[in-house]
Amino acid sequence: MKIVQLKPLNDKVSVKTETNILDTLLATNCEVAMACGGQGICATCHVYVREGEESLTPMTSREKRTLSLMTGCNISSRLACQARVIGEGVVIEVPEGMYLRATNDLASLVGRRAEVPILHPKDGRVLIPKGKIITKSRILELNSENLDVLDLRNQSSGLT
């Protein structure tokens, strides 16, 4: 068993060795959109590794490629579904924001302010900043964005 610390709440979770970070998050009832179903081809399970990078399995070429498409990633970024815990001292921070799966998700929120940033499911870009009012016109604009992660899955099917 290994201990993983989750920020910002500082929850400590005990997981079996080789458990991936995604399952660790789900064990704490953390909501993760996992739009690609854990295949490493969307941005919706993106996390920052604050400590213990060496206690995670190395990045695959697929994970590197997906992260390279993201706007919100940096050197400490990992995809939770791809990184498995193999040692102690891992500290994970979940980025603030809600990944959009479909513009319908926002329809019931028209006229309200976004409580957290609304993020693009493929590249992590902020579609609606925190505090901005969600308008019908913005939803219409978003309808023209390609938010379909399945497209990306099909494009990436040749990757390892």
Query: Per CB under 6 A, which of residues 38..57 are in contact with ligand FES?
Result: 38-42, 44-45
Residue 73 interacting with ligand FES (CB under 6 A)? no
Residue count at the site for ligand FES (CB under 6 A)? 12
- Angstrom distance (rounded) from CA 79 to CA 92: 11
Q: Are 96 and 116 in contact (CB under 8 A)?
A: yes
Which one-letter DSSP state was computed for residue 6?
Answer: E
The β-bridge partners of 17 are none
Instruction: Output 40 or 97, the one with its CB closest to ligand FES.
Output: 40
Other CB atoms closer than 10 Å to residue 5's CB: what's the count?
Answer: 17
Please select the residue that binds ligand FES; options are 13, 36, 47, 114, rule is CB under 6 A.
36
Instruction: State the minimum distance, in angstroms, from the CB of residue 57 to ligand FES.
Output: 14
Instruction: Output 81 or 114, the one with its CB closest to ligand FES.
Output: 81
Handedness of CA 66, 122, 10, 82 (dihedral sign): negative
- Angstrom distance (rounded) from CA 142 to CA 100: 10
Instruction: State the minimum distance, in angstroms, from the CB of residue 27 to ligand FES.
Output: 16
Q: Are 120 and 43 in contact (CB under 8 A)?
A: yes
Instruction: Output 69 or 139, the one with its CB closest to ligand FES.
Output: 69
Point out which residues bind ligand FES (CB under 6 A). Answer: 34-36, 38-42, 44-45, 79, 81
